[in-house]
Amino acid sequence: MIIALLGNPNSGKTTLFNQLTGSNQHVGNFPGVTVEKKEGMIKGQKNMTLVDLPGIYSLSPYTAEEVVTRDFLLKDKPEAVINIVDATNIERNLYLTLQLMEVGVPVVVALNMMDEVRANGDSIDVQMLSGNLGLPIVPISAAKNEGCAELVLKTLEVAREKDRPRGLDLCQGEVHRAVHAIAHIIEKELKATGLPSRYAATKVVEGDPITLSKLNLSKSEMEIVETIVSDMERNLDTDREAALADMRYDFIANACKDAVKKNGNSRELQRSIRIDEVLTHKVFGIPIFLCVMLLVFFLTFNVIGKFLSDGFSMGIDWVTSMIDVGLSNLGINEAVHSLIVEGVCVGVGSVLSFLPTIVTLFFFLSILEDSGYMARVAFVMDKLLRKIGLSGRSFVPMLIGFGCSVPAIMATRTLASQRDRRMTILLTPFMSCSAKLPIYATFSAAFFPDHAPLVLIGLYVGGMVMGVLYGLLLKSTLFRGNPVPFVMELPAYRLPSAKSVVIHMWEKAKDFLVKAFTIIFVASIVIWALQSFDARLMMVSDGGDSLLAAIGRFIAPIFVPLGFGNWISSTALITGLSAKEAVVSTLAVLTNAEVSMLPQVLGAYFTPLTALSFLTFTLLYMPCFAAVAAIKRELGGMKYAAAAMIAQCGVAWIAAFAVYQIGRLIVGG
């Protein structure tokens, strides 16, 4: 049994999904598109799968999310839909509910955040509202797990009985006449498409191109349809989409008139307005955001994360030394001994030691996101992004890019304009992903131990500044024009759910561990093999005689003007294309250094200035192969992705060159 979970953004959909499925979930993409979906088995039910559809406001096909959701409802035909509705903003949320009623799928309304409704002194007569809408409604509080069991039972009942929405006529007057007249005209074509009559007629009135192409109406039928719609627009003195929106909101207003009693603005909304007067201030908004991020970095890299990582590193070093001693006592072959200790343990261990740091960082970021602050950051950044030809909505994928470039690039599908989408794809890799954190932490500990948070915030801000400069270049050359208007809902500030924060942290930790024991594991073995053998496949005692050294020396001249033209650093940059964490594991393997000793060893290959130049290059040069594949898929070809990556490497080289050469002038070297 397939159950779809559908609702507006910020309605508590993810929280409800986690409550109903626990950790038993699978994340993937819808077939043929790169819009993410989550699937999970509902706890306590056999063969009952919950599919978490993208958060949308309507079923009009303006974004990839809306198209995917609509296709899933019409083609996959789930047994039932759980439509989660924010009870504190019920009128706006019910707009999507009415469109689901037009589709004709069995629907259960999950009226979420009822605890906040009660706390505000408001009331909702659930039974009356259910009768007015013709749908079963279950009041819940997903964050507190209230009513979730009842919701599952009601959904099961509706699915088994195929209880579709009752035939309430949502429209009246001119819209009523237009919809019903068109329903008769398209009656013959409907049989071949399998589309619900009411839904198809409404979409034809709307002028929906996808529905019109499926119906394949004749020229004469289209002329009649246009005449009917034109008459409706003239009589109502409005356009077709506004007429349909007015019709739906009129129905919602009548349905809620006696059932919903409000006591003014909610306490959460009033509190949010007062907080936003400071956090979204046109002058202080961006400086406050930078201060917040500086505090996050300080706590992550100088206090909590550093303490945990140091302890974790000691544990990894102890395990490595025990394995080393054990293999020596067993008299294992020297090559195998070297592979296990110097290749696998040192390579993978050097990356694993940063797991506490990354988990700590995403603990703070998930709190900022779940509280509603990150939505404000997108709003605050709108004015700045418009100067480079983008809207604040583009900041959302860029913000995701601080975690990982792959989902960030996929998230550009939410942008309505193809111009904005392509430009955002090209700028997103300049946002420093979490995979680079081990590099930053290692070099900061080695060369800037007293100023690590400032170095970190400087790198993150530096990436954004380079993105802005690159965006200005793109705006004046390849992407002339104006961005689309920016409209974004700012959710009320709320205390983050502990369960949601823990799940977010676990997902990041799991991704990191999977990468460590797959990509990093293989990369460490390959690096060890290239470092241990020469061109005749003979083991070498000096790593400078190895295949890896030969490859590194071949490309090293490129980096001489940047200050780090040694084969070890150039080799690390190459392996970083598989995964940025591999830069640290490569340095550890090549220098034969234990995790905790790597910062001390790097002093033989870098100075503080060349380390800063190296950090600048790693910040800006092309992302990992997985991100390149995502860019290829989104831009529509490898030639576009290759051109983008060459340009980005050029920007990284120029920036690192400037840092090194200007630094030499300042320090006199």
pLDDT tens digits, one per residue of 197-235: 888 888 888 888 888 888 888 888 889 989 998 999 899
**Highest-confidence segment of 147-151, 202-206, 284-288, 533-537:** 147-151
Tokens 């700590």 correspond to 360
Rounded to an integer, the average pLDDT of 72-76 is 86
Average pLDDT of the chain to the nearest whole number = 83
Ramachandran class of 140: left when φ > 0, alpha when ψ lies in -120 to 50, beta otherwise: beta
Percent with pLDDT over 70 in the chain: 91
- Tell me which of 3.40.50.150, 3.40.50.10860, 3.40.50.300, 3.40.920.10 is the CATH number of domain 2-161: 3.40.50.300
Q: Residue 3: in which H helix or E strand, if any?
A: strand 2-7
pLDDT at 33: 45
What the block records as the tokens of 318 is: 């102890």
Q: Report pLDDT for 591.
A: 80
Domain layout of the chain by residue ranges = 2-161, 173-261, 285-667
The pTM of the full predicted model, rounded to 2 decimals, is 0.67
Query: How remote is the C-alpha of 258 from its chain's centroid?
Result: 40
Given a cut of 70, is residue 352 above it in pLDDT? yes
- The mean pLDDT of 640-648, rounded to a whole number, is 90
Average pLDDT over residues 51-73: 81
Alpha carbons within 13 angstroms on the beta-carbon side of residue 625 total: 9
C-alpha–C-alpha distance, residues 466 and 381, integer Å? 15
- Alpha helix stretches (DSSP H) within 545-624: 547-555, 567-575, 582-591, 598-601, 608-620
**Residue 179: per-residue pLDDT:** 87
Q: How far is CA 33 from the centre of its chain?
A: 15
Interatomic CA distance for residues 405 and 101, integer angstroms? 38
Fold of 173-261: Helix Hairpins (1.10.287)
Spatial contact of 97 and 133, defined as CB atoms under 8 Å apart: yes
Name the least confident of 36-40, 340-344, 511-515: 511-515
In the prediction, which pLDDT does 110 show?
Answer: 95
20-24, 247-251, 364-368, 663-667: least confidently modelled range: 20-24
**Predicted pLDDT of residue 402:** 78
pLDDT at residue 16 greater than cutoff 80? yes
Tell me the C-alpha distance between 363 and 403, whole Å. Answer: 12
CB contact at 8 A, 76 and 38: no
CA 5 from chain centre, in angstroms, equals 19
Q: How confident is the model at residue 668 (pLDDT cuts 50, 70, 90)?
A: low
* Domains 2-161 and 173-261 fall in the same CATH topology: no
User: Are 217 and 225 spatial neighbours (Cβ–Cβ below 8 Å)?
Assistant: yes
Work out the average pLDDT over 450-460: 86
